[in-house]
Amino acid sequence: MSDTSELAVELRDATPPWLLSHLREWISGAGDKGHAYLVVSEDANEASLFAGQLAMRQLCHDPQDGLACGQCQSCKAFLQGTHGDLMLLQVPDGKTAIGIDQVREATHFLQQTALYGAAKLLLVRDADQMTLAAANSLLKTLEEPPGNALMLLSSAEAWRLPPTVRSRCQLLRLPRSEKDAALKWLGSQVGGSAANAEHLLDMAQGRAVSARLMADSESLAAKEALVASFPVLSEQRAGPPAAWSGVDLSVLLSELLVWVEGQVRGVDTDRFCHQAQSWLLLHRCVAELSSRVKRGATPGKDIVIAELFRLCRSRDHAAFADIGGRFLSSLGREGVAS
């Protein structure tokens, strides 16, 4: 079972006001009578936070104004990270996916009697990171949920979930936060100048909740170094930039993708065909690799870094179509037809 104390701290101290408004609106509007919900936001951390607030609300003994009261026995246990009717399923540290054994443990948990009487509640953070076997195992519980079970899945990439799983859940899609509101909230959370909040929001591609988490962690400097390394790759003679080793492989892949997308968009229209094709091919190579890693592949980090660097450096090469095509073939994908 995953520790829920970190989530509890975020719920108590760092839930943006717009998420509480969404929750209030949703509770007062829709019927909240289902067994399973899928919370979707383009910010995975925001989706997870919203699911956490909804979980606390559903377990609360005395909801106030549509939200959890924060005072009852259930809320107190929730906010201390010790609620016996709550289980959090997420990718374990050092792993790349949620496995079937975790889902089996969760299924067993849902079948037990609720300690506080309201429900047995399962949060599945980044549900798209379940292996196919894990998702199929969860599907059985979604199809025949125990009487007092409530399952809240959250995801930024819900399309990765099997359609059978998606269709068993009521969809709760969070709108993108307003930039002004995001900057105001971020400023109040992290302090510093307005430019600081703006920089953080930029680094997190407009995802406010993720931006705040980034400000708390040591990863900001590592990510800044990473982003700064991309535009000067052509000057890099001595092998991959050191900054690439300083972040998780998933971060390297997603940031590189964002940067390559920017390059595709920035191509001069007069030279579009010639230039854009190589950027698009590079994009496809990185996207395929990223998708592999998200589906649970665990390639050696050093090997991936060396290969990515080689691809990026070869992009201007006349034979890049062949190089990229061979790379895609090695992943079991066909090369791009020209």
Closest distance to Zn ion from the beta carbon of 63 (Å): 7
Query: In this structure, are residues 36 and 164 in contact, taking their beta carbons and an 8 Å threshold?
Result: no
Residue placing its CB nearer to Zn ion in the complex, 68 or 204: 68
Closest distance to Zn ion from the beta carbon of 83 (Å): 11
Q: Residue 269 contacts by C-beta under 8 Å, 6 or more apart in sequence?
A: none
Please state, in angstroms and as integers, the Cα–Cα distance from residue 129 to each residue in 75, 91, 98, 100, 214, following that order. Answer: 28, 7, 6, 11, 21
Query: In this structure, are residues 212 and 189 in contact, taking their beta carbons and an 8 Å threshold?
Result: yes
Q: Is 77 in the site for Zn ion (CB under 5 A)?
A: no
Length of the chain equals 338
Residue placing its CB nearer to Zn ion in the complex, 76 or 108: 76
Cα–Cα distance measured from residue 32 to residue 273, given in angstroms and rounded to the nearest whole number? 51
Residue placing its CB nearer to Zn ion in the complex, 61 or 199: 61
Closest distance to Zn ion from the beta carbon of 69 (Å): 4
Closest distance to Zn ion from the beta carbon of 12 (Å): 13
3-class SS at 125?
A: coil
- φ, ψ of residue 65 in degrees (nearest 5): 50, 40
Site for Zn ion in 197-216 (CB under 5 A): none
One of 20, 27, 69, 133 touching Zn ion (CB under 5 A): 69
Closest distance to Zn ion from the beta carbon of 15 (Å): 15
Residue placing its CB nearer to Zn ion in the complex, 72 or 139: 72
- What string marks each residue from 80 to 119 as x (binds Zn ion by CB under 5 A) or -? ----------------------------------------
- Residue 153 is inside which H or E element, if any? strand 149-155
3-class SS at 305?
A: helix
Q: Is 67 in the site for Zn ion (CB under 5 A)?
A: no
| Half-sphere exposure for 246 (CA within 13 Å, toward CB) | 15
Residue placing its CB nearer to Zn ion in the complex, 62 or 224: 62
Q: Is 72 in the site for Zn ion (CB under 5 A)?
A: yes
- Our measurement of the distance from residue 119's CA atom to the centroid of its chain's CA atoms, rounded to an integer in Å, reads 26
Cα–Cα distance measured from residue 106 to residue 84, given in angstroms and rounded to the nearest whole number? 13
The DSSP 8-state label assigned to residue 234 in this structure reads G
One of 75, 138, 211, 256 touching Zn ion (CB under 5 A): 75
Closest distance to Zn ion from the beta carbon of 13 (Å): 17
- What string marks each residue from 45 to 64 as x (binds Zn ion by CB under 5 A) or -? ---------------x----
Compute how many residues bind Zn ion; rule: CB under 5 A.
5
- Residue 288 is inside which H or E element, if any? helix 272-294
Closest distance to Zn ion from the beta carbon of 59 (Å): 8
Closest distance to Zn ion from the beta carbon of 70 (Å): 6
Cα–Cα distance measured from residue 211 to residue 49, given in angstroms and rounded to the nearest whole number? 13
Q: Candidates 30-38, 73-81, 160-168, 290-298 — which segment interacts with Zn ion by CB under 5 A? A: 73-81
In the complex, which residues of this chain contact Zn ion (CB under 5 A)? 60, 68-69, 72, 75
